[in-house]
Amino acid sequence: MGLERSNEDRQTPPQAAVEVAAPADKAQGREPTFDVVRIDRNGDTVIAGRAMPKAEVIILEGGKEIGRTIADNRGEWVFVPSGPLKPGARELSLRAENPDGSVMEANAPVVLVVPERDQGQAIVFKVLPGGGSTLLQGPVGDTTGLLSIDTVDHDDRGRLFVGGKAPAKGRVHVYLDNRFLGRADADAEGHWRQAGKRPDAGKHVLRADLVGDKGKVLARIEVLFDPGEAAKLPKSGGDTIVVMSGNSLWRIARTVYGAGAAYTAIFSANRERIRDPNLIYPGQVFTVPAR
């Protein structure tokens, strides 16, 4: 079914006022990076990335070493933990001991949420140094097949971050409540990301348009979200919480796991209670997967 083009679609929008931090230059090969994290249904994991050629890469969980490996002549490294990961949430970071004697830390850790066996898909996302996150593994967000919105996050500095997938090098125009938020170009792997100003609490509509060379909208996706108000999440037993006014799955995930992108772990664990992840209500009691 075709899309009607409004005047808004025909016009070339101005550039967004909020800049998105540029990704680290992998060609430099100095700062260690996570490129791939894959977790299967049994918790078996493969982790891969880049560093300086022949650097010794140390993988850390909560600051404690869980393993190390050596980067090859191209700076590529792979690490496979000796056993499956236990259910729960954890943050992994990197340290590289380089051949020249220097030591470098990764600026972009990854957060892993491993569900109980057969209780859903593992979630892995990279926390980006400029703010926001990129989903490496997990249920994708709303998608049209060509275009998706996978992550929506905001911080205490009043910034909003939106990201997803599109065809490699595709151009994405992002709107908040039908106001132009910014223009993002997907990278070679199809990841796009845009930053903007966080709106006030309340229901808002985020829209992403995949735009062709002549300005034609090739795909469009919209999601509802509510940045919510900061609220305490009182416990109702060991692994449950009671939803308070102002909470959202994003807010709960940010509090419990440290990043809103992990909301899908809560949604997966409470499918029988949540018909729509954008609609939860005060007084609901949710099971929270182990941290």
Domains annotated for the chain, with CATH where assigned, are 7-22+132-225 (2.60.40.10), 26-107 (2.60.40.10), 240-287 (3.10.350.10)
**CA-wise closest residue to 191 among 221, 170, 212, 164:** 164
Write down the pTM of the prediction.
Answer: 0.58
Confidence of residue 179 (pLDDT cuts 50, 70, 90): very high
Share of residues in the chain with pLDDT > 90 (%): 30
Torsion sign, CA atoms 286, 157, 64, 56 = positive
pLDDT, residue 27, reads 36
- Higher local confidence (pLDDT), 125 or 101: 101
pLDDT, residue 124, reads 82
> Average pLDDT of the chain?
75
Query: How does pLDDT run across 106-165, given as a tens digit for each residue?
Result: 888 888 878 777 666 777 878 777 777 777 887 655 556 788 887 777 776 788 888 888
**CA-wise closest residue to 261 among 153, 158, 163, 155:** 153
pLDDT, residue 206, reads 87
CB 183, CB 193: distance < 8 Å: no
CB 125, CB 134: distance < 8 Å: yes
